[in-house]
Chains A and B, each alone.
Chain A
Amino acid sequence: MKISIPVDNNSMESNVCASFGRAPFFLVYDTETKEAAFVENTAASGTGGAGIRAAQIIADQGVSALLTPRCGQNAADVFRSADIKLYRTNTDSLKDNIEAFIKGELPLLEDFHAGFHGRNRGM
């Protein structure tokens, strides 16, 4: 099964990136073959809607699951359409999360933060 995780660096020693849409790289990892590839997140430096474009990039990798600390509502909509399941990471360590996922220990991510605009009245 192919999974993806937002990461700070393009190495297996990297931490999980705290942001999904603005993560510099995504790890694409095959849990059977242990093959790892790092995909650059071209949405990271873009204008708005970073989460949507990032979700498009991940969907195009043909993964079945995304492990992430958080996710916006719009990106979550893309993942739902693409039949990609979301799981909540539980530590910063990339390797620990992959292990936890394989053991079935990661919970599903079910709460998403507001979209691009939110309701900010500046206060």
Chain B
Amino acid sequence: MPDFMEETAECNMKIAVLSGKGGTGKTLVSVNLAAVAGHSTYIDCDVEEPNGHLFFKPAIAREELITVKIPQVDEKQCVGCRACVHFCNYNALAYVNNRLIIFDDVCHSCGGCVLVCPESALSESDKAIGKIEIGVAGEVNVYTGILNTGEATGIPIINRLLEEGSAEGRVPIFIDCPPGSACIVMESIKDADYCVLVAEPTLFGAHNLNMVYELVKLFDKPTGVVLNKCMNEKNPVEEFCLDKSLEILGRIPFDHELASLNSNAEIVVNKNEKYRELFSDLLETIVDRVERESASHEPNRVHEATAGDQERHRVELEQVCGEKVYGKVTADDQEDHRMELEQVCGEKVYGKVIADDQEGHNAEQEKASGINDFDEPDEHCIEREGANSEQGYASNEMEGGAE
């Protein structure tokens, strides 16, 4: 463990590493930061393509299946009264041709249909959506989330990962987030103390950085940028950071040796002293910023909602993002979506924010962001464009190293 970590090892330190797209160097940064920190935790929340374990090659100590509850019908008992169909807020049930159809991927596992069925024809069954793997590589605890292909959302896996990964208290904790800025990324960073955004030094890199920067801004997270694949040229990302008063925490040079080590799934800090120094310096800077933040800020979001509030906020949030939402939801989350919507449509939004509001602005958003949305209006998660917050920080992500 580097010296500067010793006194700080006690303090809570969750560092999320993000990027606007895959292949930017996000995994390179989070894996090597965890390795150089020594006694640390690495959590791979990129559940659709977890790569961190390829670098750490951890000895797997434990596996846990992640399941959600889905109703199943006993057709012999069902009398077709449709009480369940009418009850389901998410339209996960249909009754046609004297048969109940259950749409697993739309079901939010609320359990309500099972309760309202007057014939007790419905019961809950577990459906596995993926698993988490807990392993050890030297001093680093490695937590990996794996989502089964075709499953709607990895959010239950991420919640479990973060819970498990934080439980042991082996800090600092590095959270390797999914790329992009969808709901699942929001889940991954919600408890983070600091966000590190990794970006490539290109115009496209600046565009991707902006997307993810808008996301962390919504969460009011302290943020800094790491530039990957740097060459001695003018760099649009540096300009972006300057423009947004975003701190550049470190620069990883474009370097053939580093790229080839990384693409061979080697942890570069273990292979060459100069990379160890590079990441050690980066870690020192990040640790310093996290400490400064925690010294200057009282945590500003200690909102323990009651069970009723909780459910209300969840429903609201799900309406906004059109996806299942797990874990705790607070009024602040809802507020965040309002801001987002206001940013998109450029005017004040009052009252409850629902998915349809957002849908109305879809075309606009798509034009602005150049991202294709789905055909059905309620399908998109969240795109932000043109936010105008005054917060003076942003984050950058790097994925996949200096290849």
For A43, list chain B residues within 8 Å (CB).
91
A17-51: contact bitstring with B at CB < 8 Å (1 yes, 0 no)?
00101100000000000000000000101111111
A-B contact pairs, 18 of them (CB 8 A): A19-B376, A19-B377, A47-B355, A49-B106, A50-B378, A52-B106, A56-B96, A72-B376, A81-B94, A116-B106, A116-B378, A117-B153, A117-B379, A118-B374, A118-B379, A120-B374, A122-B184, A123-B371
- Contact A72 B185, beta carbon cutoff 8 Å: no
Binding site for A on B (CB under 8 A): 20-21, 48, 85, 89-97, 99, 101, 103, 105-106, 152-153, 178-182, 184-185, 208, 211, 315, 318-319, 322-323, 354-356, 359, 371, 374-383
For B379, list chain A residues within 8 Å (CB).
116-118, 120
Contact of A113 (CB < 8 Å), options: B92, B322, B356, B374: B374
Contact of A117 (CB < 8 Å), options: B21, B105, B359, B371: B105
Q: A49-B91, A56-B95 are in contact. List 8 more A-B contacts (CB 8 A).
A: A22-B377, A48-B106, A48-B355, A50-B377, A52-B106, A78-B96, A120-B380, A121-B178
For B93, list chain A residues within 8 Å (CB).
52
- Contact A122 B383, beta carbon cutoff 8 Å: yes
Which 6 A/B pairs are nearest by Cβ-Cβ distance?
A49-B91, A122-B180, A122-B182, A82-B96, A117-B152, A53-B91
A75-95: contact bitstring with B at CB < 8 Å (1 yes, 0 no)?
001100111000000000000
Docked complex: A49-70 residues within 8 A CB-CB of B: 49-53, 55-56, 59, 70
Count CB-based A-B contacts (< 8 Å): 126
For B153, list chain A residues within 8 Å (CB).
117
Judge whether A74 is part of the interface by a CB distance below 8 angstroms.
yes
For A48, list chain B residues within 8 Å (CB).
90-91, 106, 318, 322, 355, 378
For B375, list chain A residues within 8 Å (CB).
19, 70, 72, 113
Please classify the interface of chain B as helix (H, G, I), strand (E, B), loop, or mixed, using the class held by over half of its residues.
loop
For B318, list chain A residues within 8 Å (CB).
47-48
Please classify the interface of chain A as helix (H, G, I), strand (E, B), loop, or mixed, using the class held by over half of its residues.
loop
- Contact A114 B374, beta carbon cutoff 8 Å: yes
- Contact A56 B106, beta carbon cutoff 8 Å: no
Shortest C-beta distance, A115 to chain B (Å), equals 6
Tell me the bound Cα distance from A85 to B184 in angstroms.
Answer: 37
For A21, list chain B residues within 8 Å (CB).
376-377
Tell me the bound Cα distance from A90 to B290 in angstroms.
Answer: 59
Q: With CB as the reference atom, state the residue of chain A lying closest to B46.
A: A121
Q: With CB as the reference atom, state the residue of chain A lying closest to B380.
A: A120
Scoring A74, A78, A117 by chain B CB atoms within 10 A of each residue's CB, the highest score goes to A117
Shortest C-beta distance, A82 to chain B (Å), equals 4
For B179, list chain A residues within 8 Å (CB).
121-123
Q: With CB as the reference atom, state the residue of chain B lying closest to A115.
A: B105
For B355, list chain A residues within 8 Å (CB).
47-48
Tell me the bound Cα distance from A117 to B107 in angstroms.
Answer: 11
Tell me the bound Cα distance from A50 to B323 in angstroms.
Answer: 13
Tell me the bound Cα distance from A63 to B94 in angstroms.
Answer: 16
Contact of B96 (CB < 8 Å), options: A22, A59, A72: A59
